[in-house]
Amino acid sequence: MEETTERIEKPVSSEAPGMDLKSTRGAFMSNLELPRKGSVQQWLFDRSEVFEPIFNYIGKKVVPQHRHSIWYYFGGLTLFFFIIQIVTGLLLLLYYKPTEAEAFSSFVYIQKVVPYGWLIRQIHAWSANLMVLMAFIHMFSTFFMKAYRKPRELMWVSGFVLLLLTLGFGFTGYLLPWNNLAFYATQIGTEVPKAAPGGALIVELLRGGADVTGETLTRMFSLHVVLLPGITMLLLSAHLMLMQIFGTSIPIGYKEKGLVKGYEPFFPNFLMKDFIGWMIGFALLIYLAIAVPWEIGIQADPLSPPDANIKPEWYFWAQFQLLKDLKFPGGELLAIILFTIGGVVWLLVPFIDRQAAREEKSPVFTIFGLLVLAFLIIESYRVYLDYGFH
């Protein structure tokens, strides 16, 4: 391969979407000093042509700038906390033992003996919560910006399943420390499907028997560290691939009204800004992990329920409150039906909202979204009033 001796030509750039940077790698490299001949940098630089097609592909994407551009950061933040989960989860796996006899003691060992084990566990617990929060903000922001409309329907569908998977991570991970509160909360949580026809089978499959036991722990563990991460990574790749193919959406009417101030290249400009967002998220995460640690609790004991009121994690509070509201014969089944219908309608929004698909405003759907959001916030707040946060 010919050695590079000159500075790479500046690329052609344009302001319009789909701008054609001749070489994004070139654009990036042209701002750097040329490596010395024969140096390691020179060697790497010459071979970096391998990545040329990737750089060029990524370089096609531009991000529109307008007064709501801030919301474009939340998908990336969700991704950031997911990456943190993978890294810290792998570290926890070095010491965690997923058996009834050893789960709690290995968990205490990580917290108290393993150097920085406490920090890794606290980061894992807080990052899980932040990931769920970011995923909710990302979902509602894409909803209100109608980013689900044609041609991004599958982005919405894949995103919705990603949210369910994220909640699945929370649910299965909760039992792993094998402490008493988690044990009884899982007992109640896994009981819910029983009210639905065929639900008893689901309960038995989840628990690995009639009750929550060591079998349940093994099942939750394998779901948490094998099945859910595998499916999530596949689906996430599809979600991000679709993002690359379709590019970032613009709210309805913004282009026509001249509300789009310009476009900036995703790589490296927007990615660098994403990075600043990630660093702010990381600072918040470290602060929470150190200043507001999650409890260890006491080992699970099937014979002594905890004194504290048992409630699920905050992201299941709305469902929990609805179940409490409908405490009459058949109420549980009604709650399950309502949530299933609500979930299916939410999933199908891109296909139902025909106005948005025609690039027309669809206020009915905006109101629908506001009602769903109000329902989730009010119901969750009611749980907070009754039980507090912890």
Q: Contact residues for ligand HEM (CB under 6 A)?
A: 72, 74-76, 78-79, 82, 135, 138-139, 142, 147-148, 152, 155-156, 159-160, 162-163, 166, 236, 239, 243, 248-249
Reading the block at residue 285, the tokens are 């995460």
Reading the block at residue 74, the tokens are 């939340």
Task: Tally Cβ neighbours within 10 Å of residue 151.
Answer: 12
What is the torsional sign of CA 50, 56, 57, 62?
positive
Dist. CA 297–CA 83, nearest whole Å? 27
* Residue of 160, 348, 165, 156 lying closest to 246 (CA atoms): 156
**Distances in whole angstroms, Cα of residue 387 to Cα of each of 86, 116, 298:** 31, 32, 20
Query: Which residue pairs, CB below 8 angstroms and at least 24 apart, start in 348-354?
Result: 349/143, 349/148, 349/156, 350/148, 350/149, 350/150, 350/152, 350/153, 350/156, 350/157, 351/153, 353/146, 353/148, 353/149
Nearest-CB residue to ligand HEM?
159
Please, what is the minimum distance in Å from the beta carbon of residue 58 to ligand HEM?
13
The answer to whether the peptide bond before residue 193 is cis (omega within 30 degrees of 0) is no
SS (H, E, C) 50-74: HHHHHHHHHHCCEEEECCCHHHHHH
What is the torsional sign of CA 205, 211, 212, 218?
negative
Cβ–Cβ < 8 Å for 383, 317: yes
